[in-house]
Amino acid sequence: MPRYKLIIEYDGTHFVGWQRQENGMGVQQVIEEAITGFTGQDVRIRGAGRTDAGVHATGQVAHVDLARDWKADTVRDALNAHLRAHRVAILSAQAVGEGFDARFSATARHYLYRLIDRRAPLALEKNHAWHVPRRLDPDAMHAAAQVFLGTHDFTTFRATQCQANSPVKTLDSFSVIRASPGPDRDEIHLICTARSFLHNQVRSMVGSLKMVGEGKWTARDLAEALAAADRTACGPVAPPDGLYLTRVDY
């Protein structure tokens, strides 16, 4: 059966997450229903990452096997036509070999976390960034974030319900920059890359880095929390609103 790689963008605000679930609508489900509407097939797709409820994507990847050899552009356009009722878009479709697996073939996953540190509440960016009503220090956050680089036991920054076999992960990069244009420059981007992440790892790291940005923690405090390998040593977990899966490498 022909296999297609899909690159997907979605607003996760009103979804229970990427995965098809019993307690609400998942992104996976609405795409599978769009495929059924287009092809008549009852299919299951595999995604590169299982984003949580409220988490967004600008570059999620999935693969699907179709019974017919369709043109890739036809697959993209037909699925988008069936997805009109949802804030989900298929950015591209590409025919790939049967050896391609959206999850297991991935060599790196890239996440962006958007944080807006201003006194005024969010109007346009509500549900799409974390609003912190006090000024943060992104330089201190960036310096502290470097303690995460390399291979570590990330138990401290792992959800208690995480199903990964091991808490050991290798973080390739983590940068924190003040990113928004204009005189106020009130948006901070936290960007990290690894082959794979634990459940809630990025949001847990961001929440602890916010403590650094507020001056409540130092880089040493963050390093001690990591070394503790104890979930209770983690700072408050950042909300899902600001998290985006931006790219998956193969």
117 and 224: one domain?
yes
- The pLDDT of residue 1 is 87
Indicate the DSSP class of residue 229: T
Of 34, 69, 96, the residue at which a domain comes to its end is: 96
Q: Are residues 114 and 87 in the same domain?
A: no
63 and 7 in a common domain: yes
Residues 61 and 142 in one domain: no
Q: Mark whether 127 and 87 lie in a shared domain.
A: no
Separation between Cα atoms, residue 45 and residue 31, nearest integer Å: 8
Query: How many domains does the chain fold into?
Result: 2
Assess whether 85 and 139 both reside in one domain. Answer: no
| Cβ 48 vs Cβ 61: under 8 Å | yes
Looking at the fold, whether 70 and 170 belong to one and the same domain comes out as no
**Residue 208 belongs to a domain:** yes
**The 3-state secondary structure of 182-225, one letter per residue:** CCCCCEEEEEEEECCCCCCHHHHHHHHHHHHHCCCCCHHHHHHH
Q: Which residues of the chain have pLDDT under 70?
A: 180-184
The three-state secondary structure class of 142 is helix
CATH at residue 26: 3.30.70.580
12 and 74 housed in the same domain: yes
Question: What is the pLDDT, as a whole number, of residue 249?
Answer: 98
Domain containing 218 — which CATH number? Answer: 3.30.70.660
Whether the model clears a pTM of 0.75, i.e. scores above it, the answer is yes
* Residue 133 shares a structural domain with residue 240: yes
52, 117, 186, 241: the catalytic one is 52
Residue 224: domain span: 108-249
**101 inside domain:** no
52 catalytic? Reply is yes
Q: In the listed set 96, 122, 139, which residue is the last one of a domain according to the structure?
A: 96
Identity of the amino acid at 241: D
For residue 146 the two structure tokens come to 């470097």
In a domain, 132, yes or no: yes
- Is residue 102 domain-resident? no
Q: Give the CA dihedral 169, 138, 180, 86, nearest 10 degrees.
A: 30
Is residue 136 in a domain? yes
The predicted structure's pLDDT at residue 238: 98
Do 75 and 117 fall into the same domain?
no
